[in-house]
Structure 1
Amino acid sequence: MSLGPACIFLRGGKKIARSLADDEIQELREAFTEFDKDKDGLITCKDLGNLMRTMGYMPTEMELIELSQNINMKLGGRVAFEDFVDLMAPKLLAETAGMIGLKELKDAFKEFDMDGDGSITIDELRLAMTKLLGYQVNRREIEAVIREADNNGDGTVDFEEFVKMMSRD
């Protein structure tokens, strides 16, 4: 089994979605700069739509209207780079999570679900992480991971919750 999904899962207790990598932020900065015609660090809402399209995202007119309404409340309807990153980060992170295939997710889930009952308990996750990482993980961190991923409140993580957590933006 690859350690990637396991590490992402463990990190989830602190923050479910990973942060953008430096190269991803640099890619966003370069794209933003192309549309920042007057180099003041702001782009218009119209440019935002065009910029998103050049990056392969196809926002609907309704999404752009919603975005512009939120953005119009500050900076006179223009978008700063930081706001652009906040807007694009979930899309980039969801893309990355989507690269983890269903087979890999099933394999990772099986590693954690030691008794094969279809759910991951705190104890199972703690044992699996100890085995994978080679040291014992703090119980509070494990509890936080389970609590964050447990959508139905049963105190465990089933496969559906696991998949949602792995692809959460």
Structure 2
Amino acid sequence: MKKVAVYPGSFDPITQGHLDIIQRGARVFDHVVVAVLHNSQKKPLFTVEERVHLIREVTQEIGNVEVDHFEGLLVDYIHNRKATNVIRGLRAITDFEYELQFASMMKKLDVNIETLFMMTNNQYSFLSSGIVKEVAQYGGDVGNLVPAIVEEALKQKYMK
């Protein structure tokens, strides 16, 4: 039986830290679905379609990665995808409390879903999409923080 994992997130935008987790998750699981969350409570910089496109571009060389989007409960999406695992990235100890609550709720909703925490590479431990957007908004160099296509997309967004 194939081991399928879902890596959910807003990915607004995808960073090198996210990409690191995707690449490593793809080595652990047979199939990884990067699932872009449509959260109506947030005002993202990129549309869901734009985020899906950017992620597909930067993961196209990873044969067992698929990019999709969803809204609603993650547990329902996981069931629909016939997955049994969730990948969550941890940057620092500050992430742990939220992620522990997330994993505990996931286990409460379905005891068969396992959450795998992956520590991000140390060079990305400070990195978040929010920081990237803030630096890019003011014309700062984000070239080593995001893939080149994402850097260009950020420039286009902030030139408007």
TM-score scaled by structure 1?
0.26
Higher helix share: 1
Find the structure with the greater CA-based Rg.
1
Higher strand share: 2
